[in-house]
Each structure stands twice: as C-alpha cells, then as structure tokens.
C-alpha cells in the first residue's frame, strides 16, 4: 500500500538539511541509521556528521552503492536502485559482524568493525557532506531516523512501513520530513533538535509508509491486528486472536 505524502527533494547541486550539533547525535558505537530514499543518481550523502576525507564522525551515503564510514568502511555496491523508493539502514557495533547494511529490511552486507567511531562537533547534514559543500544528494528522502542502539533486523523490518510514535527506546533523532512547506524539518524524537532546510524543496510522492498510529482512524490499527492474526498458528484458537480494544484505540 502506498500513500501520497510530502517528502524532501534534493537537486544534487547545493541542497541540504542541517541538523544542529547535539550530544545525543554523537554516535560512535552501538547505533542505527535509517531513511527512505529515492535517488535519481548515486553518489550523494544520505546523512553525514563526518569530515570529508577523514574517518571521523559518521557518513551514510550512496557513494558506490550503499556505504557507511566511521573509522572504517562498509559498502555494498549492488543493492540500491535509482529512481525507486527503498528503505536503507546501517547498524554499527564493535563486535562480531557488528556492522550491517540493509536495503528494504534485508541485510546486504555485514562485517566485523575493528574499532568504534570518533565523534565530531559538526551538525548532521541530510543530503551533503557535513563540513563542506560537497557530496550533494540528488533525489528524494523521507523518514530519517537515528538511534543510539543497534536495532535488530526484526525491529527494522517491523517498523519499515509505518511512522514511529517518537518515544521508541533509543530514538535520538526522528525526522519524518513530511511537513510539506517551510524551512524546518521537525525532530519528533525526545531530542527535539529541529533541522533547517537549505534549498531542498517539498514534493508529493507515493510512499509505502502507513500514517502514524497517533493519528490513526482505526483502520491502520486494524491492518496491524489483521496481519498479526494471520501470523498466528491455527492452534492459537479464536479467543487469543480477538483483540478488539486494539482496533479502535
Ligand atoms: Ca538548489
């Protein structure tokens, strides 16, 4: 199911969003980055808190495919497609196969990082390098999420097609990028660290993301309930399946 909604469009020349420096965004180990992207061309930054050419902060981009840089690099060259929407994610933790790249909830690359990242005092930029006018993203972006913990593949997949509430544990930056007008992207996480839009424009796009359950009419919750019910074995019986309270809450 796709729903027409507002997204941010970047021209690949000088557009970006700047999210001010904040201690909650000093992600060096045990973190997750997520976004929905529709790149017109590969090469641009998705989100970046690094210094161009140095292995500090973090860089999550489409250079050569899908790539995460902190003190090391993990890259997958084959999975990101141009001119279509896809959900991309990176998780990082210094342990066995602790760095993972995901496209549409599927792990496309993983490796063991040698060491954790180091922080910078830079803002987080969406759509460009954080410290210089470079690496501009060409395409559309929405539903940007930053977490101070590693989300499991199951967690990533389970919230891939729905907006978050904003109070999920470990959520340190949440930018749905669906304002539709103005020069601010609101941070719906407890960090409340809004970003400023520099040149990027608002567009309408069909995205496979259900509206937030906060504004649910009941139908969205029914969808979740129905899928949950379908996933139960028949032996669970009808009584356990019936959770009417959730349908209309
Ligand atoms: Ca521009």
pLDDT digits (tens, 9 = 90+) for 168-217: 999 999 999 999 999 999 999 999 999 999 999 999 999 999 876 544 44
Cα 223 to ligand 1 centroid, rounded to whole Å: 39
pLDDT at res. 233: 53
42 Cα to the center of ligand 1, angstroms = 17
- CA angle, residues 170, 181, 21, in degrees to nearest 5: 40
pLDDT tens per residue across span 101-158: 999 999 999 999 999 999 999 999 999 999 999 999 999 999 999 999 999 999 999 9
Q: Give the Å distance between the CA of 203 and the centre of ligand 1.
A: 14
Q: Residue 238: what pLDDT?
A: 45
For residue 10, how far is its CA from the centre of ligand 1 (angstroms)? 7
Q: Is the pTM for the entire model greater than 0.75?
A: yes
pLDDT over threshold 60, residue 224: no
For the chain, give the percent of residues with pLDDT over 90.
81
206 with 227, same domain: the answer is no
Tell me: do 97 and 161 sit in the same domain: yes
Residue 4's nearest CA partner among 178, 245, 141 is: 178
Distance 120 CA to ligand 1 centre (A): 26
CA–centroid distance, 127 to ligand 1, in Å, is 11
137 with 150, same domain: the answer is yes
Beta-bridge mates of residue 223: none
Question: pLDDT digit string (tens) for 42-99?
Answer: 999 999 999 998 999 999 999 999 999 999 999 999 999 999 999 999 999 999 899 9
Contacts 24+ apart (CB under 8 A), 163-168: 163/209, 163/210, 163/211, 163/212, 163/213, 164/188, 164/212, 165/212, 165/213, 165/214, 166/190
Q: State residue 211's pLDDT score.
A: 75
Give the domain CATH number at 71.
Answer: 2.60.120.200
- Any idea which residue has 């792990």 for tokens? 107
What value, to the nearest 5°, has the Cα angle with vertex 192 and ends 166 and 94?
A: 70
Same domain, 142 and 183: yes
The mean per-residue pLDDT over the stretch 19-31 comes to 97
**Residues forming a β-bridge with 90:** 33, 101
pLDDT at 14 over 90: yes
Could you tell me if 227 and 179 lie in one domain? no
Same domain, 52 and 172: yes
CB of 114 closer than 8 Å to CB of 71:
yes
Residues 33 and 156 in one domain: yes
Ligand 1 centroid to residue 1 C-alpha, Å: 31
Q: Cβ-count burial of 13 within 10 angstroms (0-12 exposed, 13-18 middle, 19+ buried)?
A: exposed
Same-domain pairing of 227 and 209: no
Backbone dihedral region for residue 158 (phi beyond 0: left; psi -120 to 50: alpha; all else: beta): alpha
pLDDT over 90 at 248, yes or no: no
Our count of domains for the chain comes to 2
Do 230 and 171 share a domain, yes or no?
Answer: no
Q: How many Cα atoms sit within 13 Å of 14 on the Cβ side?
A: 2
Percent of the chain scored above 70 by pLDDT?
A: 85
What tokens were used for 202? 């608002």
Q: Which helix H or strand E contains 223, and what residues bound it?
A: helix 219-230
The domain of 239 spans 216-249
Q: How far apart are CA 160 and CA 32, in angstroms?
A: 13
Residues 208 and 98 grouped into a single domain: yes
């Amino acid at each position: 199911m796709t729903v027409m909604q507002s997204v941010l469009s970047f021209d690949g020349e000088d557009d970006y969003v700047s999210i001010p420096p904040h201690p909650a965004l000093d992600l060096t180990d045990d973190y997750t980055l997520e976004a929905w992207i529709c790149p017109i061309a590969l090469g641009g930054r998705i989100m970046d808190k690094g210094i161009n050419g140095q292995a500090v902060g973090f860089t999550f981009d489409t250079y050569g495919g899908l790539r995460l840089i902190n003190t090391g690099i993990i890259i997958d060259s084959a999975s990101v497609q141009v001119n279509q929407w896809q959900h991309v994610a990176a998780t990082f933790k210094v342990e066995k196969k602790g760095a993972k790249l995901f496209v549409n909830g599927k792990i496309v690359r993983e490796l063991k990082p040698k060491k954790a990242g180091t922080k910078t005092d830079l803002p987080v930029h969406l759509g460009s390098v954080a410290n210089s006018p470079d690496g501009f993203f060409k395409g559309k972006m929405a539903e940007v999420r930053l977490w101070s913990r590693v989300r499991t593949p199951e967690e990533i997949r389970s919230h891939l097609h729905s907006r978050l509430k904003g109070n999920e544990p470990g959520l340190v930056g949440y930018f749905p990028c669906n304002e539709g007008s103005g020069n601010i992207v609101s941070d719906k996480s407890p960090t409340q660290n809004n970003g400023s839009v520099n040149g990027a424009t608002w567009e309408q796009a069909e995205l496979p993301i259900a509206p937030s359950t906060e504004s649910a009419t009941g139908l969205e919750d029914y969808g979740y309930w129905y899928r949950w019910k379908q996933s139960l074995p028949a032996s669970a019986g009808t009584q356990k399946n019936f959770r009417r309270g959730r349908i209309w809450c």
